[in-house]
Amino acid sequence: MMQKIELEDYYKPLWIEFINRIKGVNIENCPEPHLPIYGEKYLESEYKIAFIGIDGAGEHSMRRFNDYDGYKRIVQEWKEEIDGLDYCYWAWRWNFWRFIFQFLSKFYDISLEEIKAAETEDVQKILKSFVWANALSIERYHITAKSKNVQYENWQKLSEASLVFDKMGNVIQAFQPKIILLLNWNASDQYLPLNLGEPVKFDPIPLWYYHLASTDTHLFCTKHPRSLMSIGYDVVINKIINSINRKKIFRSFPGQTRFDLIRTFVSQMRELGKELNIRFVIEKTNDGGTIQIFDGIDYTFVEDDLYDPLVGLYFYPLGWKNYRIGFSNSITDFYYGICRQNWQSGDPMIIFQKLTPLLNALNEETNDSWPRGKYFDYRNWDKNSDVWREIEDGRLKAKIRLIISNLQSDLNEIDL
């Protein structure tokens, strides 16, 4: 457990410098700096995580805090908001906080509904266990200052003076987070630590990773969440949590359970292919139609693409020339059935061939590539904990074995 964070000792000289820099500036209606804060459970948490945004949309005024103790009151007011969980009621409206809530849900393996409700003791502890900071302590001019008729020159002087706060090193030194999520793709070079080196890039997803060896800080940088909506927050969050798991940043954390179970699941599928003497392949088709095939199992591939609807697990029964048995591996849309070996070739299947009872039952949302298919009862794994238990105790493997065996038996007279 960390010792008490002496924010007063840390921020006092920075605040004094800031106040001295703005002497003579008309600060009427100017926004006050947003200083990093932490919840009351942060010190005792095993998982020291800091979330850094662009700036804060404040309703306060610099006039209220224009003295040498002003920083104390700024921090105290925001801490009361965090520790009282009052922020949960307004934060959910903002993309930045939605991303944070979804990250906490995945990291702690607690449903998003429970996180949003904030009713249980465990959830309340989680919601008070992180650091919140912004790369710009003085919010941008158009946020509130412009509408309050603040002269741009006065705002600019205030903003320039506030650069004394705007360094990630302050967050690292004051709070010693193990992980920083910088949700600000355009943070200035001045804000970022020196000697970052080259990032690990998760192309094509906008996510970069750095390891700051001197402080053993793991930094993940991505766009502000409002710019991530087109690809979905879960895609980025999954990549981050998967990376945390792989790098063993923590000895263990609650959310890694699902990654362990995914490993178990794909291992079970490999075993099933051997037991049934069927070739097994993991395949991903990108938006351009290019197919990447992975014979056997590739754990990295499966884990990295949990939320990719273009990923599938495929079994090739002996004697099947044009078709195969497929299982969608997108845990948000679990689907199975008969599908083509080559997506681009052939006419629609089984129009003129014998329709068996089993084949007839596979009739949900079919198309030329998946002429016969059906959704599992638990179409969305994230919202159904039963599937994870079924992986753990082997029931899902048994279900898939039965599906494959029945299809092979029922379709043995059809030329596939």
pLDDT in tens, 296-342: 333 344 445 544 545 688 999 988 888 899 997 566 778 899 988 87
| Contact predicate 225/236, CB 8 Å | no
Q: Which residues of 28-44 are buried (b: 16+ CB within 10 A; e: fewer)?
A: ebbbbbbbbbbbebbee
For position 124, which CATH number holds?
3.40.470
Residues 246 and 288 in one domain: no
Would the pTM count as exceeding 0.75?
A: yes
**pLDDT of the residue at 344:** 65
Number of domains in the chain: 2
284: how many CB neighbours lie within 10 A of its CB?
18
Residues 239, 289 share a domain: no
Q: Is residue 55 part of a domain?
A: yes
CA angle centred on 203, ends 202 and 205, rounded to 5°: 80
If DSSP codes are grouped into helix, strand and coil, which group holds residue 365? coil
CA-wise closest residue to 162 among 62, 246, 299: 62
151 within a domain of the structure (yes/no): yes
User: In this structure, is residue 406 part of a structural domain?
Assistant: yes
Residue 200 domain boundaries: 7-254
Instruction: Give the C-alpha separation, 354 to 364, whole Å.
Output: 18
2 found inside a domain: no
Asked if 154 and 228 sit in the same domain, the reply is yes
Do residue 204 and residue 282 come from a single domain? no
Question: Of 199, 222, 254, which residue sits at a domain end?
Answer: 254
Residues 44 and 180 in one domain: yes
Each residue's pLDDT, cut to its tens digit, for the chain (416 residues) gives 566 677 778 888 999 999 999 999 999 889 999 999 999 999 999 999 999 999 876 666 788 788 878 888 888 888 898 999 988 888 788 899 999 999 999 999 998 889 989 999 999 999 999 999 999 999 999 988 898 899 999 999 999 999 999 999 999 999 999 999 999 998 888 999 988 889 999 887 899 999 999 999 999 999 999 998 888 888 889 889 989 998 999 999 998 888 888 888 888 999 999 999 999 988 765 544 444 444 433 334 444 554 454 568 899 998 888 889 999 756 677 889 998 887 666 555 555 467 788 888 888 888 778 888 999 888 877 777 788 899 999 999 999 999 999 999 888 777 77
Cβ atoms of residues 302 and 294 within 8 Å: no
Quick one: 239 and 320 in the same domain? no
Q: Give me the pLDDT at residue 347, please.
A: 56
Alpha carbon 107 to chain centroid distance? Answer: 9
3-state secondary structure of 157: helix
- What tens digit of pLDDT does each residue of 191-210 get? 999 888 899 998 878 999 99
Say if 194 falls within a structural domain: yes
Instruction: Say if 346 falls within a structural domain.
Output: yes
Q: What is the pLDDT of residue 36?
A: 92
**Beta-carbon neighbour count of residue 77 at 10 Å?**
14
Domain limit, last residue, from 195, 222, 254 = 254
- If asked whether residues 240 and 279 sit together in one domain, one would say no
**For residues 29 and 395, what is the distance between their CA atoms, to the nearest angstrom?**
63
Within a domain: 1:
no
Q: Give the whole-angstrom CA distance, residue 55 versus residue 53.
A: 6
Regarding whether 201 and 89 lie in a shared domain, the answer is: yes
Q: Are residues 244 and 278 in the same domain?
A: no
DSSP SS3 for 211: strand
**DSSP designation for 132:** E
Phi, psi of 159 (to 5 degrees): -65, -45
Assigned domain for 169 exists: yes
Residues 193, 89: one domain?
yes
Considering only CA atoms, which of 212, 207, 225 is closest in space to residue 168?
A: 212
Place of tokens 């499966």: 302
Same domain, 265 and 352: yes
End-to-end CA distance of the chain: 62
Task: Give the integer Cα–Cα distance in Å for 269 and 398.
Answer: 10
pLDDT for the residue numbered 386: 86
Domain boundary among 208, 224, 254: 254
